[in-house]
């Protein structure tokens, strides 16, 4: 069984502006035992992306538009080799930013942030509609980097092991939201229920 504690990740839900609008951001910080160059290739090479995330098409240069198969598309806003990737994801005001930093020759600090307008999220509880999916992607990338991840990522996310992992991730994000004080108890409880139905409906 995959245990979320075996893949330690810092999870935060914070306020962050989107342009001139108030926004909500989910942030994950994780360390991979792989060189920065290897992590960067896994994030930006279409063949590698398809093996742990989703097939991608389009123009993967700055200002270029891209589309993930059966998922969101967007525009590349910034791309600094082996250090920074910033894109829109599913809409012009939905911003994903990934930063990489070498922690040594074979370890990379991976910081992931997804920011949306607060009007879209509703409250801090809105994080539960996206964050568990990103959590599973962080795990999938780690397995790929270790040479353990094989098969169709979309199918893999529906396996019993990943359902259990997703359920643990939901609890971890609920704790982060509670700590942020950006949602009421009622908002949080409703979002937890919706998140379980979306990401872990068959979790034991």
Sign of CA dihedral 165, 166, 172, 175: negative
Question: How far, CA to CA in Å, does 196 sit from each of 39, 167, 189?
Answer: 30, 7, 11
Domain boundaries, position 35? 4-199
Confidence class for position 101, pLDDT limits 50, 70, 90: very high
20-64: per-residue pLDDT in tens?
A: 999 999 999 999 999 999 999 999 999 999 999 999 999 999 999
Q: Distance between CA 13 and CA 125 in Å, rounded?
A: 9
Give the CA radius of gyration of the chain.
16
pTM of the model: 0.94
- The SS3 assignment for 161 reads helix
151-193: per-residue pLDDT in tens?
A: 777 788 888 888 999 999 999 999 999 999 999 999 999 999 9
Confidence class for position 148, pLDDT limits 50, 70, 90: confident
Q: Is residue 139 part of a domain?
A: yes
Compute the mean pLDDT over every residue in the chain, rounded to the nearest whole number: 93
pLDDT for 154 equals: 76
- The SS3 assignment for 201 reads coil
- Edge to edge, what strands does the sheet with 107-117 contain? 9-15, 23-32, 107-117, 95-104, 84-88, 73-80, 65-68, 56-58
- Does 90 have pLDDT greater than 50? yes
Q: Is residue 204 part of a domain?
A: no
Q: How many domains are contained in the chain?
A: 1
CATH of the domain at 22: 3.30.530.20
Backbone φ and ψ of 39, nearest 5°:
-65, -40
pLDDT for 1 equals: 41
Q: Which residues contact 123 (CB under 8 A, 6 or more apart)?
A: 24, 182, 183, 184, 187
Mean pLDDT of 121-129: 97
pLDDT for 84 equals: 98
Least confident range from 29-33, 62-66, 78-82, 147-151: namely 147-151
pLDDT for 157 equals: 81
Q: Distance between CA 114 and CA 133 in Å, rounded?
A: 12
């Amino acid at each position: 069984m995959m245990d979320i504690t075996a893949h330690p990740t810092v999870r935060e839900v914070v306020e962050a502006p989107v342009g001139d609008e108030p926004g909500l951001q989910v942030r994950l910080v994780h360390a991979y035992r792989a060189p920065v160059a290897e992590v960067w290739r896994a994030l930006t090479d279409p063949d590698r992306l398809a093996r742990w995330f989703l097939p991608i098409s389009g123009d993967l240069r700055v200002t270029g538009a891209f589309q993930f198969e059966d998922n969101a598309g967007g525009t590349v806003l910034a791309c600094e080799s082996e250090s920074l990737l910033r894109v829109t994801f599913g809409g012009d005001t939905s911003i994903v930013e990934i930063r990489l930093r070498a922690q040594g020759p074979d370890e990379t600090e991976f910081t992931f942030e997804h920011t949306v307008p607060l009007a879209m999220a509703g409250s801090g509880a809105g994080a539960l509609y996206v964050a568990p999916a990103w959590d599973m992607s962080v795990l999938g990338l780690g397995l790929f980097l270790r040479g353990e991840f094989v098969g169709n990522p979309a199918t893999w996310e529906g396996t019993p092991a990943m359902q259990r992992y997703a359920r643990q991730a939901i609890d971890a994000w609920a704790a982060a939201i509670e700590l942020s004080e950006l949602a009421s108890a009622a908002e949080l409880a409703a979002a937890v229920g919706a998140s379980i139905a979306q990401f872990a409906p068959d979790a034991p």
